[in-house]
Amino acid sequence: MSRERIAHGEGAIYEFSPDLEAATSVESGAELTIETRDSLDGTIRTESDVLDSIPSEVNAATGPIAVEGAQPGDVLRVEIEAIRLAEAQGRVITIGGFGLLDGDDVIEAPRTRLTPVEDGTIAFGDLDVPIEPVIGTIGVAPESGSYTTLVPHDHGGNLDTTDMTAGTVAYFPVFQEGALLAMGDCKAAMADGEMCGTGAEIATEIDVTLEVVSDPETELERPLLETADAWKTVASAETLEEACELANRDAIELLAAEHGFDRTDAYMFSSLVGGLEISQVVDPLVTVRNAVPKAYLTSPF
Amino acid sequence: MSRERIAHGEGAIYEFSPDLEAATSVESGAELTIETRDSLDGTIRTESDVLDSIPSEVNAATGPIAVEGAQPGDVLRVEIEAIRLAEAQGRVITIGGFGLLDGDDVIEAPRTRLTPVEDGTIAFGDLDVPIEPVIGTIGVAPESGSYTTLVPHDHGGNLDTTDMTAGTVAYFPVFQEGALLAMGDCKAAMADGEMCGTGAEIATEIDVTLEVVSDPETELERPLLETADAWKTVASAETLEEACELANRDAIELLAAEHGFDRTDAYMFSSLVGGLEISQVVDPLVTVRNAVPKAYLTSPF
């Protein structure tokens, strides 16, 4: 199967909802190249382009892509094979009303800094930062409720998680027939936490392989990531503490199932290896991961 | 100078306060071996030894050690060279009223699991976990106020930070003459977050070299860690979000000083590399780090 290209123009969403209509449909096993715009839709081109507040439409997610055969209760396996930058510059911004230090007298918002793409790096002033592209927004149609592409939740969405990069396999619960996957809001580089509100936002092409895991051994309530070294549960909530609880509970379930622990022993074991990691602290809900090294967990599917 | 041994019996504290009296005094440059008891003072020896609630005295910290010449405004450099386990078993426990999932119906508290020490690993049931010892409580006499050894704050204390391990250099602000350093509460292994309330708690010997940085180029308000690859600010507060703010602000100061950024550009740059990391989410104040890779920061002293 040659790689099918899914252009941004074929469809993009600013909201994940149960009644999404597919912009395109593919078979399980499809190898795709998905084009994504930058999170600000190309409106930030010079350092004079600044945003006084978050636009009502941000983080355009290319899709929705229906994967044939995906039924509620299934799992959608998204193998991220490569992410290529698709423009000559990224942009890092502060925005009025957004960011970890929002409201601080010393921090100027809005401000825009461009990050020109060089050979394997982006430039921030005199500094060069290695390009390590991250997909910020990636998710499926939710079970219920509507979430803009700025919000992360059990369906994925604006997870802003540095692990969402080439080499990772992301597993999503399927809530709606076809799953209805969409992705966008990529960064050429990003720190855990995304403190100012953005990484280096940039347009990309993403190579993925999509596969339906039918009748999975383990049902997911929230996304699960498989990196080179670890399995990581991913949870979003109003506070970091609440997100930590959810992510830890999900990790406990996996450890209990793998080792025959009861939940208390799984909880105690989870306190010895890997651990809690911040994804982002700036979106309307915040996101945390609980990593468990692969030495202690095999695939739950 | 041969390595001076500081036995736990020479002095240990359960509280960091401005008026600590030194148990021992050393010169700047002293190479020491510091003995520490486990955080529960040897009271948990079998799986029948359980704790219904946190004892009033926990996390005994060997010391205080006065370092000659340390004056308020200085920095105390603590190079952690080695941490050796000093008993044949650790222990992981749940305690009534403590831990991320405290109050959960499914989690049993109290419970005790012993972790026998093997060859480079500890055993948790059938699983083996590599020994990577961590100093949980380490700090200096604070500027004002009294903090039990269960509490982390600007003086250090119960930071429960996995980076506090062999190979790291920890820098503490000196608030009181002599600094008055104490440490204890070690773990044979621990996850970021310390979710159940403990790692594998165990007695140790710690080899450190202590040095006063007089009239430092940069004054510290909170601890700073230097690992093999990164500089990490460390902050504690009532919520993870507040701790993130403090840790990010401290990182911003370092980046601004290094690169001549204003604080807004430093804030934006901090959102591209390294990032926020959870230390622990269980103590009376919670602790977060902001990591900046060494490629972007040199020593601020």
Residue B291 clears pLDDT 70, i.e. is over it? yes
Closest alpha carbon to A66 in A142, A168, A140: A140
- Please indicate whether, in this complex, the C-beta atoms of A94 and B195 are within 8 angstroms of each other: no
User: Identity (one letter) of the amino acid at B117?
Assistant: V
- Please indicate whether, in this complex, the C-beta atoms of B244 and A271 are within 8 angstroms of each other: no
Residue A133 burial (CB count, 10 A): 24
Q: Which of B92, B193, B249 sits opposite A268 (nearest CB)?
A: B92
| pLDDT tens-digit series, residues B16-71 | 999 999 999 999 999 999 999 999 999 999 999 999 999 999 999 999 999 999 99
Q: How far is A207 from A31, CA to CA, in rounded Å? A: 7
Cβ distance A181 to A39 under 8 Å?
Answer: no
* Chain A residues inside the 8 Å CB shell of B267: 94, 99, 101, 107, 195-196
- Please indicate whether, in this complex, the C-beta atoms of B196 and A271 are within 8 angstroms of each other: yes
Interface probe for A, chosen from B112, B122, B261, B271 (most Cβ of A below 10 Å), is: B271
Task: Check residue B9 and give its pLDDT.
Answer: 87
Q: What is the mean pLDDT of residues B3-27?
A: 96
Q: Which of B92, B271, B274 sits opposite A92 (nearest CB)?
A: B271
Residue B1 clears pLDDT 70, i.e. is over it? no
Residue A29 burial (CB count, 10 A): 13
Work out whether strand B286-293 and strand B230-237 pair parallel, antiparallel, or are unpaired.
antiparallel
Whether omega for the bond prior to residue A64 falls within 30 degrees of 0, making it cis, is: yes
Closest alpha carbon to B114 in B53, B51, B47: B47
Q: How far is A172 from A225, CA to CA, in rounded Å? A: 9
List chain A residues with pLDDT less than 70. Answer: 1
Cβ distance A235 to A246 under 8 Å?
Answer: yes
A254-to-A33, A79, A230 alpha-carbon distances in Å: 32, 20, 12
Q: Which of B108, B125, B281 sits opposite A264 (nearest CB)?
A: B108
A81-to-A18, A134, A276, B153 alpha-carbon distances in Å: 28, 12, 25, 43
- Please indicate whether, in this complex, the C-beta atoms of B259 and A126 are within 8 angstroms of each other: yes
- Please indicate whether, in this complex, the C-beta atoms of A127 and B259 are within 8 angstroms of each other: yes
**B198 contacts chain A (CB < 8 A):** yes
Task: Check residue A9 and give its pLDDT.
Answer: 87
The gap between the terminal CA atoms of chain A, to the nearest Å, is 25
Residue B253 burial (CB count, 10 A): 17
**A274 contacts chain B (CB < 8 A):** yes
User: b/e for A250-262, b at 16 or more Cβ within 10 A?
Assistant: bbbbbbbebbebe
* Chain B residues inside the 8 Å CB shell of A192: 274-277, 291
Cβ distance A279 to A289 under 8 Å?
Answer: yes
Which residues, other chains included, contact B181 with Cβ-Cβ below 8 Å and sequence gap of 6+?
A: B63, B64, B65, B67, B76, B78, B138, B139, B140, B172, B210
Nearest residue in B to A297, CA atom: B127
Three-point CA angle B73, B77, B78, nearest 5°? 135
Q: How far is B21 from B10, CA to CA, in rounded Å? A: 12
Closest alpha carbon to A151 in A214, A69, A237: A237
Which residues, other chains included, contact B148 with Cβ-Cβ below 8 Å and sequence gap of 6+?
A: B14, B15, B16, B58, B59
| pLDDT tens-digit series, residues B202-254 | 999 999 999 999 999 999 999 999 999 999 999 999 999 999 999 999 999 99
Tokens 């509460």 locate to B185
Q: Which domains does chain A have, with CATH numbers?
A: 4-293 (2.60.120.580)
- Please indicate whether, in this complex, the C-beta atoms of A111 and B264 are within 8 angstroms of each other: yes
- The pLDDT-based confidence of B10 (bands split at 50, 70, 90) is confident
Task: Check residue B223 and give its pLDDT.
Answer: 98
* Chain A residues inside the 8 Å CB shell of B244: 100, 193, 195, 240, 278, 281
- Please indicate whether, in this complex, the C-beta atoms of B273 and A111 are within 8 angstroms of each other: no
Query: To 10 degrees, what angle do helices B240-259 and B263-270 make?
Result: 120
Q: How far is B261 from B275, CA to CA, in rounded Å? A: 18
For chain A, the C-alpha Rg in angstroms (whole number) is: 19
Interface probe for A, chosen from B113, B268, B273, B279 (most Cβ of A below 10 Å), is: B268
Task: Check residue B90 and give its pLDDT.
Answer: 98
**B111 contacts chain A (CB < 8 A):** yes
**What is the average pLDDT score of chain B?**
97
Task: Check residue B125 and give its pLDDT.
Answer: 97
- Phi, psi values for residue A53, rounded to 5°: -155, 165
> For residue A97, what are its two tokens?
């009303």
- A286 vs chain B: nearest CA distance in angstroms? 10
Task: Check residue A129 and give its pLDDT.
Answer: 98
* Chain B residues inside the 8 Å CB shell of A256: none
